């Protein structure tokens, strides 16, 4: 993502080798910007921002507990809890999505 490459020149961490091409740099998952001399042109992007969400589709839930688990025990494990519908896990894992 473009926003992951918006780093000040002094914040750049080298990600390639001297003389690496823009195409080769991008192919290895790095950012390329040759506009500032004497700083790395091929550099490590900022980490992706991710957030945890509880899946809204009850049939996409991945069980995180056991039958009869209480909401408090479930959330203590760091999982989502929804006591409905019947026949699907009520305590289930978050999904991680990119922001």
Do 38 and 8 belong to one domain? yes
Residues 54 and 94 in one domain: yes
Q: Tell me which residue of 61, 69, 68 sits closest to 88, measured CA to CA.
A: 61
Q: What is the pLDDT of residues 23-74, one digit of tens each?
A: 999 999 999 999 999 999 999 999 888 888 999 999 999 999 998 999 999 9
- Indicate whether 36 and 58 sit together in one domain: no
Same domain, 59 and 93: yes
82 and 61 within one domain: yes
Give kind and range of the element (H or E) at residue 72. helix 71-76
Can you give the CATH number for the domain in which 39 is found?
A: 4.10.110.10
Q: Which residues contact 79 (CB under 8 A, 6 or more apart)?
A: 64, 65, 91, 92, 93, 94
Number of domains in the chain: 2
Read off the pLDDT band of 1 (50, 70, 90).
Answer: low
Domain that includes residue 14, residue range: 2-43
């Amino acid at each position: 993502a473009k926003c992951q490459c918006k780093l000040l020149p002094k914040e750049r961490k080298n990600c390639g080798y001297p003389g690496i091409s823009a195409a080769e740099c991008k192919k290895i998952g790095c950012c390329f910007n040759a506009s500032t001399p004497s700083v790395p042109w091929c550099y490590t992007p900022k980490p992706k921002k991710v957030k945890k969400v509880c899946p809204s589709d009850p049939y996409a839930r991945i069980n995180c507990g056991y039958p009869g688990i209480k909401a408090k025990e479930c959330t203590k494990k760091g999982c989502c809890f929804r006591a409905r519908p019947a026949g699907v896990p009520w305590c289930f894992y978050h999904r991680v999505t990119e922001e």
